Amino acid sequence: MAIVTFEQTLAESVRARRVAEHLTQADLADLAGVSERFVRSLEHGKPTVRLESLLAVLRTLGLDLAVTGRRRETQGAEGPESQGGGIR
């Protein structure tokens, strides 16, 4: 089973909304006040983007960024050391 990353989900959401709004990448960039290169990078799932620019694109598309808690994996009684150590 392939794991979908946050970056992939964000890229797909932005691209889908842009296409649904009949906007080109250049149109979106102009409306959001960012570069066309930024929009391309965002839609390709670049893992590092400027938050201010990301929020401008999302606002332009009528999308919101939400922060939610993640459910932690339950560790064995012996803790992470029993699972090979390290951080997950």
Span 3-20, pLDDT tens digits? 889 999 999 999 999 999
CB 38 within 8 A of CB 28: no
Q: pLDDT tens, 23-37?
A: 999 999 999 999 999
Radius of gyration of the chain (CA): 18
**Residue 25 and residue 54: Cα distance in Å, rounded?**
14
| Portion of the chain with pLDDT greater than 90, in percent | 68
Answer yes or no: pTM beyond 0.85. no
